[in-house]
Copies of this chain bind each other. A is one copy, B any other.
């Protein structure tokens, strides 16, 4: 496994900071950015996303105006999520898939959700030396993960950026994520097709996969199926196939498939795209595709409300102090968790 953090070029953070500075210096014209986005101008799209990612109040109001203007033009791409542990070859895979799609005349945007990145830390897709050939393609747009300390915030920015990319006419949006915290769940809740990248390893193939991830996957792809590794990759494929067979049938009535590929040697990529097309056909026909998007929207609406309710409760300085006292009392069996909760809720009410 390569250490990706060491590969972030020194100019990445400077670029991000420069962009924000530019935003602050001059007045942002929403109609101009919107016109640019609609006419497929990538500079305008970049500017729009920077606005979405800004944490300044005046920017976020403008961002909402921009998103609202873009909404009627959005919602008509295929959204694909790609996850896998570091070292599995996510970037190489996304580049191979992206290049294939560009060749087929599609326009491809690549976004990322990485809550572990910060403005000073760097992020996946932040390394400009990765995805070199895709970066140079006219039909491709690549954007690193927004920075932020909470997954909710990062996910919201990415989800709003999807809308801008769709308004800019991208046919396929690929969203990359690493297995940090609940980031796969967040990405799974914003895509149509969720793909888990794996490597063939020694021993039990399912070891080390976080609980629940396999159940989310619409496809498992064993990468680096080349050279000496080919036989092991095929064995891993069979093991995963058997394992998937044991899972309950998904709500989409889609049976997840297991494929092998070599992103480096560019083999097996076409088959993966064909599988995605098959999924899109089936899920469109049986209505699941549309249902799922509606449910995802409702999920984000409720999720955002609940996160905000919780954070305004737990971040109240008085509650913070009391909470730790109450947790102590519960641990010492002086009070039940329910009585402690009731005490804190009463306190919160009286504070407002």
Which residues does A use to contact B, with CB under 8 Å? 64, 67-68, 71-72, 74-75, 156, 159-160, 163, 204, 206-212, 215, 243, 245-249, 294, 297-302, 304-306, 308-310, 313, 326-327, 330-331, 333-342, 344-345, 352
Contacts and interface: CB of A to CB of B under 8 A. Distances in A.
A341 B333 CA distance: 38
Nearest to A307: B341
A331 B291 CA distance: 10
Given A330-B297, A333-B71, A156 B338 contact: yes
A339 B342 CA distance: 31
A339 B68 contact: yes
A337 B67 CA distance: 11
Nearest to A214: B246
A300 B338 contact: yes
A294 B333 CA distance: 10
Count the copies.
2
8 contacts: A64-B339, A74-B333, A75-B333, A160-B336, A204-B246, A207-B249, A300-B338, A301-B326
Given A163-B336, A339-B68, A305 B297 contact: no
A294 to B, nearest CB: 6
Nearest to A342: B304
Contact of A327 (B159, B301, B340): B301
A160 to B, nearest CB: 6
A159 B305 CA distance: 29
A297 B331 contact: yes
B209 A248 contact: yes
Contact of A206 (B210, B212, B248): B248
Of A71, A160, A305, chain B has the most CB atoms within 10 Å of the CB of A305
Given A68-B336, A72-B333, A297-B337, 7 more contacts: A71-B333, A207-B249, A209-B248, A211-B215, A302-B341, A308-B345, A309-B313
A300 B333 contact: no
Contact of A338 (B159, B335, B340): B159
Contacts of A330: 297-298, 301
A283 to B, nearest CB: 18
Contacts of A302: 341
Contact of A301 (B245, B246, B309, B337): B337
A174 B211 CA distance: 27
A55 B16 CA distance: 57
Contacts of A212: 212
A160 B338 contact: yes
A109 B94 CA distance: 57
Contacts of A334: 71
Contact of A309 (B208, B310, B335, B340): B310
A21 B159 CA distance: 55
Contacts of A298: 327, 330, 337
Nearest to A344: B305
Contact of A335 (B68, B75, B209, B341): B68
B248 A211 contact: yes
A206 B71 contact: no
